[in-house]
Amino acid sequence: MNRNVALTIFASYFSVIAALLAVILRPLLREYGLNQDSIRRKQAVLFALLAIGSFIHTWYYMFRFMEWSFNDYESKVGHISGTFLDRLSNWLMETALFEQAWYTVCAGPVNWWISEQLCSFTVGAWTIFIFVEGHRYKIKHAWMYMLLGQLVAISVASNLFYVALSLSTSRSTRKTGAASPVLWLSILLSLLAVSYTPFTNERSFLPNLLIMHSLAAVPLLFGQHLDNSPVPRFSLSFTSLYLLVCVMTALIHTWSSLVLYQSSDGPFLAALWRTLYSHPAQSSIGWDTIWTTASFMVWALTTTATHRIALLVTPLVSVGPMASALTFLSNGDEGSTQFSQKTE
């Protein structure tokens, strides 16, 4: 890779983010202007503020991580003469930023305990949520919310998706079908990749990470529409899929919690706080996990009157299994979630 290519890729990363935000925000601003329901507009503003807050908070640490990585590189190879662009391109050519960041947040029991909650939620309950509700409320470019989450932060993308649902004035009248094999197999394999992460080595870590991230977008890009007829062979009801995801994410979180307990050498909260600020990459994904969990709880509390007490234990049992469990308890095979009842 030459210097121009490295700089182009780096610039393209931010250009893609800007383009995604432009495409996503344009219809949201239009819907906000057209929607006359004051409750929905207030709800949309609430989640917009959460999106802005999570973006500023997580990306403050993301830029701190880039600064740390740049300084760490130059401290190892020695100061490189030349312009700043020369130094920047050398750093980009010699550093695998994506792998470096994720290896940091998966490197220890506490680190992984924080990170797996975000991973499990993203490839599990949230993938289904985007797939079903994106179709139900005719959200344009629903797959872009997943891509934005992968590139920016899940908390930012999820809050913007909540904004889209709050403002949507369209609703599909067709009966929701079953989850096609494209959907449930992608989710199953993604969750298996999440569970395998602590057992990876230097050779398998990056391929496993890429599988985890890429498969989450597959059903949103290529999945069969919910109202297609006939139902594809080997399809699952959405109730069954939510139950499956709930069990798998609960097992993943239970395992990581047991490993954390066995390796603990002090108060848990103190260790959690130290780890959260142990590295800027860890701070970024750690706070993304916290923002995502809090935003999910706010969404559920503002759109349903059921299971509010159960929501209080979400920080303890993890957002991944809780989101799936609450949906399983509240929906039938329609595939809808209870988190849409008040907004209809």
Closest C-alpha among 293, 290, 312, 305 to residue 339: 305
Alpha-carbon distance of 37 to 214, in angstroms, equals 37
**The pLDDT of residue 337:** 44
**The pLDDT of residue 326:** 82
Alpha-carbon distance of 45 to 168, in angstroms, equals 14
Alpha-carbon distance of 145 to 160, in angstroms, equals 8
Q: Which range marks the domain in which residue 28 is found? A: 3-340
Mean of the pLDDT values across residues 64-91?
A: 88
pTM over 0.85: yes
**The pLDDT of residue 338:** 41
Count of domains forming the chain: 1
**The pLDDT of residue 218:** 86
The predicted-structure confidence for 198-209, as pLDDT tens digits, reads as follows 999 989 999 999
**The pLDDT of residue 344:** 46
**Helix residue spans in 78-204 (DSSP H):** 84-94, 97-105, 109-121, 127-136, 142-151, 154-167, 181-196
The predicted-structure confidence for 234-290, as pLDDT tens digits, reads as follows 888 888 999 999 999 999 999 999 999 888 777 888 899 999 999 999 999 999 999
